[in-house]
Structure 1
Amino acid sequence: MVLRSWIVLISFLLVTVMSSSFALGAEPMAKIHDMLINADSMYRDTEKEVVELEGNIQIVYKGQHIKADKAITSLRSRQVELYGNVEIMDAKNTIVGDQVFLDYENNTGMIYNGSVQSGPIMFSGDVLQKTGESEFVVSSADYTACTNCPASWSFSGTTVRAELGGYAYIKNAVLRFGHVPVFWMPYLIVPLKSDRQSGLLTPTFEVSDKGGFAISQPYFWAISRSTDATLEVKDYAKRGLKGLVEYRYMLNESSGGTMNFGTIFDQAFAQDDRLNLYRPATEKGDPLERWFLRYDHYYDMPDGIVHRAQLNLASDLQYPKDFPTETMNHGDSAMENRMSFTKNTLDQHYSVDSSYYVNMLHGNPQEGNEDAVHRIPELRFSQTQENIGETNFIYSLNLTYVNFTRAGQAYDDMTEQTINGNKIRFPTNTCNDPRWEDNPNCRRVYDGSYNPGLDQIRTGQRLDFMPALYYPIKFGEGLDVIPAVSYRETHYGFNIDEDQYLARRYIRTEIGARTNLSRIYGDTVNSKATRYKHEIIPEVTYTRLPWVSQDDNPFFGTGSISDAPYTARDSITDLDIASDYGVQFDYYDRVYDRNLVTLALINKITEKRWIGERPEYRQVGYLKLAQSYDGTQENKVGVKEPWSDLTATLDVRLDRFQTYSIFNYFPYQNVTNASSRVRLLNDMGQFFQVQLTRQYKISPGQAVNTSDRQEDYTFSAGFTSRFINLMGKFVYDANWAESTTRDQVKSWAYIAQFKPPGDCMMITFIHDQVTGGDTNFKLNFEFTFDGNPKPALPPEALDSYGF
C-alpha cells in the first residue's frame, strides 16, 4: 500500500513538471500522428485529442511545411486552425494568409486574406477555398505571373476558379497595369502551366493608311503533340473582316512544315485605282475576295530520300504589296512554287523537281498567268567525282532533262524599234509601246505566225548530257595540277511548227593549277592557345573548246558564237531581249568558255580556339579576287571586250565585326556593281549595320546609263537593355532624283519592345512602310504565364518589315 502511494505521488509530480515546462516555453519537439511539431509552447489534451501550439510554430506533414503564430490541431478530425503569418509550403506551391482552416488529411480548407503562389503564378483574395490538392476557388481575387510588387500586370475578378497545372477561370476579369484598370472582360481563361495548350492569345492592334484601325484576336489550338495551329480573326475598319490560319506540324525530329492561309472580302481594294483602271465599269467598286496561301514542307523519308515543297500563291498581284508580311515576297518578280524529291548517296545524286512561277510584273492585278514559263518537270542525275578502279583517273557524269512550259503560246511575238540609236525589242501590242503594260488600254497581239528572226521561243524541252574525266597531279608539297576533258551534248525540242529540233555538241578541255602558302600565328608552345592560320591560294585555270557543233538557229543568237562576251554569263536581263545572242531558256544555253583563262587569288584566315577540352575551328576571314580573259573576243569584228568583270568576295566573321561583300568591277563600262553588308555588334545583342546595293544594267558593247541604276543604302541599328529593346532601319535611295516617286527614303521600319519589371510581359510596337506600299503600325501585348521571359527579337526580324 505504501509503495503504491509513492508511485502515484511520483507520477503526479512528473506530469506537473512536464506541464510546467511546456507552459514555460522550452521549445519542445514532438512527433504526433506522423506530424513533426515544433513550437515555443505546446499543450496537448489527450482526452479531446487536441494540440494547441503558440510561437514560431513549424509543422511538417506529408511533404508540407507549415508555419504560423498560433495553431489548434484536432488529431481526431485531422484539422488544424492556423492564425497569424500563416505559410504552407510544399514542393510546388506556397500558401500564405492571416487565417487558415486546413483539413490536412484531405488537403482542403479555407484561407482568409491570403494568396497562393506556384512558380511565378500567384493569385490572392479575401477568401480562398482549397477544394483539392491543386484546386482553389477565390473570392474578390487577383491573378498575376509577375514577380515584382506591385505587379506590372494582373487580372482581378469577382471569382477565380483555379487548378494549378491547368487553367484559371476568372469572372468579371479586369486587366490592370500596376493599379490602373484598362480592360474588362466578362469571362477569361488563363493558363497556370508551362506546357503548350489551347487558348486565346493576346489581341494585336494595327493602324494603316489603307486598312484603317484593325484588331485581331488569335486562338492557339494544341491539336496533338506534333501538330498545332493558330486561328485568327482580324477586323479592319476600312477593309472588312479577315480570317487567318497558320498550321504547323512535325513529322520527325528533322521534318515538318508550316501552312499559312488568309482570306478577306476587301472593301478598300474595291475602290483602289490600281484595280479599277483594269476593270469594266460594271465591276468597279465591287468588293473583291482576296486570299493568300504559303506553304513550306521538308520531309526526311526512308532510304535517304528528301521531299521538299514550297507554295506561294495570292488572289491578285497587288496582295504581296498590301500584306507584305503574309506572302513575304514583296518586290520579287515572281512567286515561286516548287516541289522536289531528292536522293543522295555517297557518290550519286537523283532529283525530280518542278517549279511553277506566278509572273508579278503585270500592271493589272488580276492579269492571267499565261505568259509565265514553268519548269515541269526537271530531272537530274549526277555522278560525283570517283576514281576509275585503282587508277588516278577520276570521272563524273551529269544528266538533266527540263520541260519548259506555260499556258500561253509557245513563243512571243516581238516588235523591234531603234530609239536614240539603241535597238529595243518588246512584245507586240496594240499601242506599239515598250511600256505597254502600264497602260490599261494596251493589249498583247499574237499574229499566229512564228518569225524566226524576231520572235522569242519560250517553251520546249532540253536534254543535257555531260561526262568528264580528270587526272589530278601533285608536284611536291605545294602545287596541284588537274587536267580535265569533258564532252557535252544538248538536245532541244520546241513546240512550234518549224525548227522543232536543235542540237549542240562540244568538247571542253581544261587545266587548272593551284598552290597553297600558309603560316601559323599565335602561341605555338601552349597546346591550348588560340592560333590563326593564314593561307594564300593562287589559282589559274585555262579552258578551251577545240570542237563545237551547233545548229544555226536564232535561238542561239543571230551572230557568231563568239559574239557574247564572258561578262554576260551571270544572268539574263531585259537587255538581252534586244541583243544579238538572244534570250534562251537560261544561262545553261550559252557557251562562254571557248578560250578562257581565269586567274584567282584566295586569302583565308582560320581560327583554332579551345572550348573546354574541345578544339573549335572557324573561318574568320576570306577574300577572293578573280578575273577572266576571253581569247575568242580577239577575233571578233567590232567592239572587243576580252576581260571579264573583276570580282571581289569578302567574308569576315569576328565576334564584334562581320561583313559579307561582293563587288563586280566592269572595266569597259567603268562601273562597279556592289552588294555589301557591314555589321558591328556586342554580346548584349546591340548592333549597327550598313548595307549597300548598287546595280547597273550592263549590256556588252554599250555604254552604261548611270542614271538608270539601283543604288540603295540601308542603315540598321539595334539596342537592348533590361527594360527596353529598340531596333530600326531605313533604306536611302541614292538615285532618288531618277525614280518615279522621288522619295529619298524608299522604306523604313522600327521595332520597340518595352519590358516592365517582373519578367512577365512585353509590349511590342512595330511601325513600318514598305517600298511603294502602305504605312502600318502594330501594337502587341505578350504576357508571360510560365515564368520564362520573352526573348528579344533578333536583328533578322527587321527583314520582315520595311523591305
Structure 2
Amino acid sequence: MHHGLIILYSFIAAFLGFSSAFAAEPTARIHGILINADSMYRDNERQTAELEGNVQIVFQGQHIRADRAQVSLRSRQVQLYGNVEIMDAKNTIVGRQVHLDYDNNTGIIYDGYVQSGSVLFAGSVLQKTGDSDYVVTSADYTTCTNCPATWSFTGSTVRAELGGYAYIKNAILRLGNVPVFWFPYLVVPLKSDRQSGVLTPIFEVSDASGFSIGIPYFWAISESSDATIELKEYQKRGLKGLLEYRYVLTESSYGTLNAASLKDKAISSDSRFNKYRTTQEKNTSLDRWFLKYEHYQEMPDGGVHRAQVNLASDLQYPKDFPLETLNHGDSAMENRVSYTKNTETQHYSVDSSYYVNLLHADPLAYNDDAVHRLPELRFSQAQKSFRDTNFVYALDVDLVNFARAGNAYDDMTALNQNGTNYKFPTNSCAAPLWEDTPGCVRQYDGKYDPDIDQIRTGQRLDLRPTLAYPFQLGNTVDFVPKLAYRETHYSFNIPDQPYLARRYLRTELTARSKISRVFGDALSSKATRYKHEIIPEITYTRLPWLSQDQHPFFGTGDMANAPFSSRDNVSDLDIASDYGLQFDYTDRVYDRNLVTFAVTNKLTEKRWVMDRPEYRQIGYLKLAQSYNEGGATGAGASQQWSDLTAILDVRLDYFQTYTIANYYPYQNVTNTSSRARVLNDKGQFLEGQLSLQYPITPGQEVDVSKRQEDYTFSAGFISRYLNAMGKITYDANPKDASTNEYQVKSWAAILQLKPPGDCWIINLATDKVTGGDTRYFVSFDFNFDGSPKPPLPSSTLDLYGF
C-alpha cells in the first residue's frame, strides 16, 4: 500500500481511538510502527497484535511483508510466517519464517536468503546478529544474478559482514550445481575497497616449466601501500616465491618493487647452461632470482627523484620469465638513479646508469665488459633574452664518466673475409663469434695499441654555448641565425695520449614560413572547425672552424666521409668502419656543411565539449632531407644526399596511425616503422604493424638478406559474454631460401569468458616469446563484492609475446 495512505489511515485511527480488540480496521500505528493487514487483533493487556493476510509493517526504514505476523510490543519482537520479505535501502531478507527483534535489528531467518546488491547468502538458518552481520548454517553464497547461479560457494557455516568479509567453513566451489574444489576455510571480500585476502589461483603450462599453479595473497598494508605475495609451484622447476610491493607517497609520488626467487631444477638438463658450465656444475640445480624496482618522487624543492632497478641472476632469466623482468628482447638491462630539477629557464640533473649486457652467449657470463655512466652531470640554460635586445643565448654543459669493471680498453683483432672487414675482441679462438664456443676467452697483451684497440672508459666534458638573433621579414618569413661553440675534453684511462680535445664553431641559419586556412562552419560560434597549416623551412649549417686532436678515437678515415647528418645512427657496424665507434653520437662532428629542407603539415581540430573549446592535433606530416654541400671523398663521394625522412601521425576518433620512414636514395631501400589502428567506442580494435630495417653503411650496397622485416597483426573484440584479443608477429625473412617459408616469431592471445550472471570471468591466455617456448595461462576473476570487472585494456597485449 502507498506510504501516504498508510500515514493517512494511521492519522484517522489515532483520531477515533482503538478498543482493546479489533478486527475490521486494516491499518494502525502502534508504538511508532505502521501496520497494515487484511485483519488485525490487538491485546492491550499482553501488548500483542495478531496480523493476518497481506501483512505489511513499516518501521525505521524497513518494509516488512508476510502472510501472518505476531507483534510483541513489550519485547519489541515480531514473528513472521509465510513468504516473509524484509527490505531496507541496502538489503533484502527473504524466508519461510523470521523471528525479528526490531529494536536491536537482530533475528533468525529460516529457509531463506539475504541479498545486498548482487551478493546473496542462502541457508537453512540465518542468524542476523547486527545491522549488516549474519551467521548462516548450511550456507550458499554467490554474487551471480542468474538462476541457477553460475558459481557459488557452499559451506557448513558462513559468518558474513556485508561491506566487509565472509568467512566460510568447509567451502566447496560449485560451477552450476557441480562441486569442483574444496577449501577447509575461505575468506572472501564483500566490498570493493582494498582488503587483505587470498586471491584466486593462477594456472600455467609451458614446455620448459611444465604445469604450475600459483596462489597469490593480497596484503592491504595501509592506505598508501599494499603487496601481493605469491607461492608458485612448477612441475619441472620447483617452488618459487614472488613479491610485488606497491606504495604511494603523495598523489604524484609512487613506487613498485618486484622480486622472485627459486632453486631451478630444470636447469640441470638445460643445454643453454650446461654448454658453458664445468663438469661439477652440470646437471645440478641453479639458484635464480630477479629484482625490479621503479620509483618516482617529486621533492619539496621542486626536484624529481627517479630510480629504476632491473637485475637478474642470469642472462636467460628475461627469456624464461618475460612477464617478470618485462625486457625480453632488449640488448641490456638498465639500472638508473637520477635527480632532476627544472626551473623556468634552467635544468639541473645528476644521473647514473648501470647496464647489464644481455648479448652474451653464456647465460652466466660476467658483466665486466658493459660500459656504464657513473655518474653524469648536466646543466642547461634555456634560451634567454640578452638584456633588452633580440639576442637570445643558451648553454649546455655535460660531464660524464664512462666506467666498467673490466679493462679500460679492448684488445681488438682485424680480419678481412671475402672482402668484408671484421673487427672483434682478441680471443683465444681468433674468431669473430668466439663466445659461441665454450672455452674461448678474451686475451689482453697488457699494452694499448692506438691503431686498433678500442677505448671503452674515460671522462668527457662537453660545453655548448649558443647565441641566436631571431627576426621576421615582412610578417611572412621567420629567420633564426645562430652561432654555436662547442668544446669537448676527454680523459682516457690509458697510458698513451690520455687527454684529447676538440673545439669547433657551427653557424646555422633557419628560415621558416607558415601558410594556414580554417575550414568549417564560420557562422556558428560553437561549430567544429579545422585549421590546416603548411610550414616550409630550410636550415643551413656550416663549420667555419674545427680544431681536433689526431687520435684513433675520432676515427682513422677522412672525416668528410663520415656520417654527416645528426639523424645517422651509431651501430655495431661502426666498429670495423674507418670513422670508428666512440662512446655515443656526442663524440662525432655532424651537420658540418649541410642544407636541410623540411615541410610540415598540421591539421588541428577545434570542437566544443560542455560549452568549452577543445583543441587537438589530428594530423601531422613532416618530410625532411639534407644535402651535404661540402662534398665527400672516398667511397661515399657521390652520396651527398641524406636519407629522406617522413613522419606521419594521424589521431582520429576511430582511426590512428603513426609511421616513420627513411628512404636511402643511394641504397634504394626504405627503413620503415609503421602502425595503423581502427577502433570503436566499445573498445574493439584492429591493428597492423610493420618494422622493416636494412643495415646501412655509407658508401656500401645493402645486403638485402640481412634485413629485419616483421609484420604484426593484432585485434580486440568485446561482447556481452566474450572478450578476446591477440597478436601475431611474422618474420618475413625466409627461414629457408629454397622454400621461401615465412616463420612466426611470437604470438599472444587473451580470451575472457564471461558466463551469465555478471559474477566472474575466466581468463585464458597463451603466448610465445621470440626464441622461447609456448605458454598457457588460466586464471579466474570472481566478483566477490558484486561489482562487474571491466574488460582488460588493449595494452595488456604488450605484456605477452615479445
Q: TM-score, normalised by structure 1?
A: 0.96
Residue 320 of structure 1, aligned match among 318, 321, 346: 318
**Structure 2 unpaired stretches of 5+:** 1-13
Q: How does 1:107-126 map to 2 (within 5 A)?
A: 107-126=105-124
Equivalent of 1:187 in 185, 200, 221: 185
Q: Distance in 2 between matches of 1:381 and 1:38?
A: 82
2:795 is equivalent to residue 796 of structure 1: yes
Is 1:233 the counterpart of 2:227? The answer is no
Aligned to 2:777: 778
Match of 1:374 among 369, 372, 375: 372
Give 2:8's aligned residue: none
Partner of 1:519: 517
Q: Quick check: 2:66–2:80 contact (8 Å CA) kept in 1?
A: yes
Equivalent AA in structure 1 for residue 585 of structure 2? Y
The amino acid across from 1:117 in the alignment is Q
**C-alpha contact 1:508 1:543 (8 A) present in aligned 2:** yes
- 1:443 paired to 2:441: yes
Which piece of structure 1 moves more, 781-790 or 228-237?
781-790
Q: Cα offset for 1:791? A: 1.3
1:53-72 superposed matches below 5 A: 53-72=51-70
Pair 449,72 (structure 1): closer, same or farther in 2 beyond 3 Å: same
Output one character per residue of 1:618-672: Cα deviation in whole Å (capped at 9) or x when no partner: 1111000000011233456763321100000000011111100100011111111
CA distance in 1 between counterparts of 2:534 and 2:604 reads: 12
- One-letter amino acid of the structure 2 residue matched with residue 776 of structure 1: R
Q: Which residue of 2 aligns with 1:751?
A: 750
State the distance in 1 between where 2:420 and 2:631 align.
Answer: 22
Deviation of residue 106 (structure 1)?
Answer: 1.8
Q: 1:636 to 1:415 in 2, by over 3 A?
A: closer
Contact 1:204/1:216, CA 8 A, preserved across alignment: yes
Asked if 1:244 corresponds to 2:242, the answer is yes
Which residue pairs with 2:596 in the alignment? 598
Tell me which moved more, 330-339 or 793-802: 793-802
Q: How does 1:508-587 map to 2 (within 5 A)?
A: 508-566=506-564, 569-587=567-585
Aligned residue number for residue 268 of structure 2:
270
SS state at 1:542 partner: strand
Is the 1:681–1:688 Cα contact (8 Å) retained in structure 2? yes
- Structure 1, residues 109-147: CA drift from partner, whole Å, max 9, x if none? 110111111222110101111122222111111001122
Looking at structure 2, the residues matched to 122 and 663 of structure 1 have their Cα atoms a distance apart, in angstroms, of: 58
Taking every aligned residue pair, what percent have the same amino acid on both sides? 66
Question: CA offset at residue 187 of structure 1?
Answer: 1.3
2:397 corresponds, among 396, 399, 402, to: 399
Distance 1:567 1:640, change over 3 A: farther
Deviations 1:131-188 (A, max 9, x none): 2222211111100112222222110011111122221111111101122211111111
Check the 8 A contact 1:679/1:688 in 2, yes or no.
Answer: yes
Instruction: Show the 5 A alignment for 1:320-399.
Output: 320-399=318-397
1:4 corresponds to which residue? none
Q: Which residue in 2 is equivalent to 1:723?
A: 721
How do residues 617-766 of structure 1 correspond to structure 2 at under 5 angstroms? 617-634=615-632, 639-737=637-735, 744-766=743-765
Q: Deviations over 1:5-34 (max 9, x none)?
A: xxxxxxxxx99997799534x522x22112
Q: Secondary structure at the match of 1:379?
A: strand
Q: In 1, are the aligned partners of 2:21 and 2:42 still within 8 Å (CA)?
A: no
Partner SS state of residue 435, structure 2 = helix
Residues 707 and 738, structure 1, Cα contact 8 Å, conserved in 2? no
1:15 and 1:329, CA in 2 relative to 1: closer, same or farther beyond 3 A? closer
Measure, in 2, the Cα distance between the counterparts of 1:732 and 1:663.
20
Query: Quick one: distance in 1 between partners of 2:612 and 2:72?
Result: 63
Q: Alignment length, in residue pairs?
A: 788
Superposed, 1:42-191 pairs within 5 Å as 42-191=40-189
Once the two structures are overlaid, the 10-residue window that deviates more, 100-109 or 490-499, is 100-109
Structure 2 vs 1, CA of residues 624 and 54 (structure 1 numbering), >3 Å: closer, same or farther? same
1:568 Cα offset (Å): 7.6
Indicate how the Cα distance of structure 1 residues 415 and 80 shifts in structure 2: closer, same or farther if over 3 A, else same.
same
Q: CA RMSD in A?
A: 1.9
Cα displacement (A) at 1:381 = 0.3
**In 1: Cα distance, 2:577 partner to 2:638 partner:** 15
In 2, Cα distance between equivalents of 1:795 and 1:674: 24
Give yes or no for contact 1:565–1:633 (8 Å, CA) kept in 2. no
> Would the aligned equivalents of 1:565 and 1:630 in 2 still touch at CA under 8 Å?
no
Please give the alpha-carbon distance, in whole angstroms, between the structure 1 residues aligned to 2:576 and 2:696: 13
8 Å Cα contact 2:732/2:742 also seen in 1:
no
| Paired amino acid for 1:758 | G
Q: Which residue of 2 aligns with 1:467?
A: 465
Partner amino acid for 1:163? Answer: E
Query: How many Å separate the matches in 2 of 1:797 and 1:359?
Result: 27
1: distance between equivalents of 2:633 and 2:275? 53
1:476 corresponds in structure 2 to 474
Residue pair 2:158, 2:167 contacting (<8 A) in 1 also: yes
Q: Deviations over 1:265-302 (max 9, x none)?
A: 01012210000000011110110000011111100111
1:370 is paired with a residue of what secondary structure?
A: coil
State the partner residue of 1:414: 412
Pick closer, same or farther for the CA change 1:19–1:245 going to 2, 3 Å: same
Larger mean CA deviation between 265-274 and 730-739 belongs to 730-739
SS of residue matched to 1:625: strand
For residues 199 and 164 of structure 2, the distance between their equivalents in structure 1, rounded to whole angstroms, comes to 16
Q: 8 Å contact 2:254–2:297 — kept in the other structure?
A: yes
Query: How far has the Cα of 1:442 moved from its partner?
Result: 1.4
Give the distance between the partners of 1:673 and 1:17, measured in 2 at CA: 96
Partner of 1:215: 213
**Paired letter, 1:399:** V
Work out whether 1:23 is the aligned partner of 2:23. yes
Higher mean C-alpha deviation, range 364-373 or range 98-107: 98-107
